[in-house]
Every structure is written in structure tokens, then in C-alpha cells.
């Protein structure tokens, strides 16, 4: 009977696709909960710079505790590794804060619709920053994405420029994050890499939070929130939103380790479909017909773009091996 037992390791080795599927599922699940709890907090405590710091702080404490108990064992770091990770972490911090400024300013569904443009920014960066030539068909396939997001934005009921522009800046930041990540392909497991990135990003986020929101928070920000929901709920909301934020990002990084970057990018857009759907249902947001159609066109556009890009990469591979 002992032979029939399957150890977790052999199960993972035997069914890698099942394990990858589980990673995707957990990533989406944690992300949907994060987005909903996060917006609930902004509805009574509209301080995105401070909340961004809390997200990272809870994650860093979680990492320090995990390292202390050896799960995972802390990977050593030196100045060369640090130099490679700093640009990734700075872009992570910038994209994180700007996403949150947008979440606080407009409907969650709208921020994620704008963030569905990320593949477009990636393509633009490949061409204009990295100098790779992007075929015209690929550019054309991105047209529906841009048209869809434009349509959705024009009639978005919660639209304001802060929400729109900060979501666009987060697209640029996360595109640079992926460029620097490629350069920083270090010989370290993804959980450790993400732990170091969180620590650096935390230090980057603290000064702007103090400068932008410090005085207001001390004057009435904290006291207003406590009056509205009570101290216990306020602190537990902040703790849990930080945990969900850290865990979904860690899962996203672990998933990237298991699949091709393109699959991961497509997976990230699919994640937005779930978040858009759930957030509309839970917050009962009204969306105009044009915004609904625009969002669907944008998402379908990403699917077409990904399909074309995957085919092109396959052809390249076949040409190389021929
Ligand atoms: C963040 O807070 O960093 C945002 O949730 C990022 O959003 P994304 O991981 O969905 O791009």
C-alpha cells in the first residue's frame, strides 16, 4: 500500500499542467479578492499612496517571517544582484502606486480596461526602446484594443483624468518593469526575487506617501476612517489587502517561472476580464452600452493580438530549427 502513496513532489512532476493551472487559478482568485477589498477601502479611506505602502509593508513582513522560518530559505544577495533588481523594483513601485491612484479615482473596471492596453505598450517598447521591428500585421491587430479602450473611456461614467492618466503611467511603468526583468534574469528562484523586489519597492514608496498624503492623514485621514468603520475593521482590512496583494503578486511571479512570457501576458489580460466582471457585479456599477461594447472589443483585440504574436513566434522557431 506504501507504493500507492503519491508524494506532493512526484504529483507536481507527474502533472505539471495541472499544477500550472492551479497557479493561474490562485493568481486570479487572489487578485479578484484583492481588487474588491482594495476598492472597499478606498471608498472610506481615499489615500492610495499610503495604502500602496501598506500593501508592500505587509508583504515585506510576511517575507521576513517566511525567511526566518526557512520557507523559503533566503537566497543571498550581493551588490551586483542588487543593481539588477533596483530598476525592476523602482518600476514595480511606480506602476503599483499609479495603479492604486487610478483604483481610488475611478471604477475598478475602468482602471483594468485601461490596463488591458499593456500588450500595446509592450509592443511599442519592443519597437521604439529595444529597436526590434514589429511587423505591421501585429500593429494592426492592436488597433481593436486601442479603439475598444477609447470607446470605453469616452462614455465611462466614473471617468476622470487622474484615473485615466495614472492607469496609463502604470502601463508604461510595468512595460519597463518587464524590460528590466529580462535583463535581470538572475539565478534565484522567483519567490526570493519577488521578496527582494518588495523590500526595495517599499523604500521607494514611502517618501512620496509622506509628502503627498502625510499631512492630510494626520489631520483627519486616519480619524475619519476610524470613525466610519472602527479601528478593528480598519486595521484588519489593511492587513488582509496587503496579504492578498503580496500573495497574488508572488503567485503571478511563480506562474511566470512556469510559462512563456506571452502566455503570462495573455493570462494577465484574462485576469482583468474576471476582475472587471466581478467588480461590476459586487459594486453594482452602472456601465453604458458603449463602455460595455468597447471593453469587449478591447479584450477580444488582446486575444487576436496574442494569437497572431504566438503564431509569429512559432514560425520564427520553426525557421530557426529548419
Ligand atoms: C497594483 O496594485 O500593483 C495593481 O494591482 C497592479 O495591477 P496588476 O497586477 O493587475 O497589473
Distance 105 CA to ligand 1 centre (A): 15
Cα dihedral 118, 292, 27, 242 sign: positive
- Average pLDDT of the chain is 91
Q: Would you call 42 exposed, middle or buried from its count of C-beta atoms within 10 A (0-12, 13-18, 19+)?
A: middle
**Rounded-to-integer distance, Cα 200 and Cα 181, Å:** 14
Amino acid 1: pLDDT: 43
Which ligand 1 atom minimizes the distance to the CA of 252? 9
The full 3-state SS of 198-231, as one line of letters, equals HHHHHHHHHHHHHHHHHHHHHHHHHHHHHHHHCH
Whether the CB of 99 sits within 6 Å of ligand 1: yes
Distance 63 CA to ligand 1 centre (A): 19
Residue 309: pLDDT band (50, 70, 90) is confident
Residue 6: pLDDT band (50, 70, 90) is low
- The answer to whether 295 touches 152, Cβ cutoff 8 Å, is yes
Number of H helices, E strands in the chain: 14, 0
Whether the CB of 100 sits within 6 Å of ligand 1: yes
Cis peptide before 72 (omega within 30 of 0): yes
Complex prediction ipTM: 0.92
Q: Each residue of 116-170: pLDDT tens digit?
A: 998 888 888 888 888 888 888 888 888 999 999 999 999 999 999 999 999 999 9
Whether the CB of 96 sits within 6 Å of ligand 1: yes
Distance 13 CA to ligand 1 centre (A): 30
Which ligand 1 atom minimizes the distance to the CA of 92? 3
pTM for this prediction: 0.90
Cα 71 to Cα 16, 35, 183, 252, distances in angstroms: 22, 27, 27, 18
Q: Each residue of 189-209: pLDDT tens digit?
A: 888 999 999 999 999 999 999
Whether the CB of 113 sits within 6 Å of ligand 1: no
**Rounded-to-integer distance, Cα 107 and Cα 156, Å:** 9
Closest C-alpha residue for ligand 1 atom 1:
96
Amino acid 8: pLDDT: 67
Joined together, the cell numbers standing for residue 244 give 492578498
Cα 97 to Cα 94, 175, 191, 254, distances in angstroms: 5, 15, 22, 22
Amino acid at each position: 500500500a506504501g507504493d500507492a502513496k503519491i508524494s506532493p513532489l512526484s504529483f507536481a512532476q507527474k502533472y505539471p499542467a495541472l499544477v500550472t493551472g492551479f497557479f493561474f487559478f490562485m493568481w486570479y482568485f487572489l487578485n479578484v479578492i484583492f481588487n474588491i477589498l482594495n476598492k472597499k477601502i478606498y471608498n472610506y479611506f481615499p489615500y492610495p499612496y499610503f495604502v500602496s505602502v501598506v500593501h508592500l509593508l505587509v508583504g515585506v513582513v510576511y517575507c521576513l517571517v517566511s525567511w526566518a522560518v526557512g520557507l523559503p530559505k533566503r537566497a543571498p544577495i550581493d551588490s551586483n544582484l542588487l543593481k539588477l533588481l533596483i530598476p525592476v523594483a523602482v518600476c514595480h513601485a511606480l506602476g503599483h502606486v499609479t495603479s492604486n491612484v487610478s483604483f481610488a479615482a475611478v471604477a475598478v473596471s475602468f482602471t483594468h480596461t485601461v490596463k488591458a492596453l499593456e500588450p500595446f505598450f509592450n509592443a511599442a517598447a519592443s519597437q521604439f526602446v529595444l529597436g526590434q521591428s514589429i511587423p505591421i500585421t501585429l500593429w494592426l491587430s492592436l488597433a481593436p484594443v486601442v479603439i475598444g479602450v477609447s470607446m470605453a473611456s469616452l462614455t465611462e461614467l466614473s471617468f476622470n483624468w487622474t484615473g485615466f492618466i495614472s492607469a496609463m503611467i502604470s502601463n508604461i511603468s510595468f512595460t519597463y518593469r518587464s524590460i528590466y526583468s529580462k535583463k535581470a534574469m538572475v539565478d534565484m528562484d522567483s519567490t526570493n526575487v519577488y521578496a527582494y523586489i518588495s523590500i526595495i519597492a517599499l523604500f521607494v514608496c514611502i517618501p512620496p506617501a509622506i509628502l503627498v498624503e502625510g499631512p492630510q492623514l494626520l489631520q483627519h485621514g486616519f480619524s475619519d476612517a476610524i470613525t466610519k468603520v472602527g479601528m478593528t475593521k480598519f486595521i484588519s482590512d489593511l492587513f488582509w489587502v496587503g496579504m492578498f496583494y503580496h500573495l497574488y503578486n508572488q503567485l503571478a511571479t511563480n506562474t511566470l517561472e512556469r510559462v512563456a512570457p506571452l502566455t503570462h501576458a495573455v493570462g494577465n489580460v484574462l485576469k482583468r476580464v474576471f476582475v472587471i466582471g466581478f467588480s461590476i457585479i459586487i459594486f453594482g456599477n452602472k456601465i453604458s452600452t458603449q463602455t460595455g461594447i468597447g471593453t469587449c472589443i478591447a479584450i477580444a483585440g488582446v486575444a487576436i493580438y496574442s494569437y497572431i504574436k504566438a503564431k509569429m513566434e512559432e514560425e520564427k522557431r520553426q525557421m530557426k530549427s529548419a
